[in-house]
Amino acid sequence: MSELHAFDIRLATLDDVTELARLIDGSVRELQHADYTATEIELALATVYGVDTTLIADGTYYAIAADAELVACGGWSRRATLYGGDGFHGRSEALLDPRSDAAKIRAFFVAPAYARCGLATRLLAACERAAAAAGFTCAELGATRTGVPFYLARGYAIVGDVDVALPQGERLAVIRMTRTLARAGCSS
- At 109-152, the pLDDT tens digits run 999 999 999 999 999 999 999 999 999 999 999 999 999 999 99
Taking a C-beta distance cutoff of 8 angstroms, is the pair 84, 48 a contact? Answer: yes
pLDDT over 80 at 3, yes or no: no
Q: How large is the average pLDDT for residues 41-60?
A: 97
d(CA 171, CA 19): 27
Q: Output the CA torsion 64→67→70→76 (10° steps).
A: 10
Write the CB contacts of 102 (distance below 8 Å, at least 6 apart in sequence): 96, 136, 138, 139, 140, 178, 186, 187, 188
Q: Calculate the alpha carbon distances from 109 to 94, 99, 130 in Å.
A: 24, 29, 19
Q: What is the pLDDT of residue 1?
A: 44
pLDDT over 60 at 4, yes or no: no
Q: Calculate the alpha carbon distances from 156 to 40, 76, 124 in Å.
A: 25, 15, 11
- Concatenating the DSSP letter of every residue in the chain gives ---GGG--EEE--GGGHHHHHHHHHHHHHHHSTTTS-HHHHHHHHHHT-S--HHHHHHT-EEEEEETTEEEEEEEEESBS--S--TT-SS---PBP-TTTSPEEEEEEEE-GGGTTSSHHHHHHHHHHHHHHHTT--EEEEEE-TTTHHHHHHTT-EEEEEEEEE-GGG-EEEEEEEEEESSSS----
Q: What is the pLDDT of residue 186?
A: 67
d(CA 111, CA 147): 14
User: Fold for domain 6-180?
Assistant: Aminopeptidase (3.40.630)
Taking a C-beta distance cutoff of 8 angstroms, is the pair 44, 90 a contact? Answer: no
- Does this model's pTM top 0.75? My answer is yes
Per-residue pLDDT tens for 68-104?
899 999 999 999 999 999 999 889 999 999 999 999 9
Q: How does the average pLDDT of the chain come out, rounded? A: 94
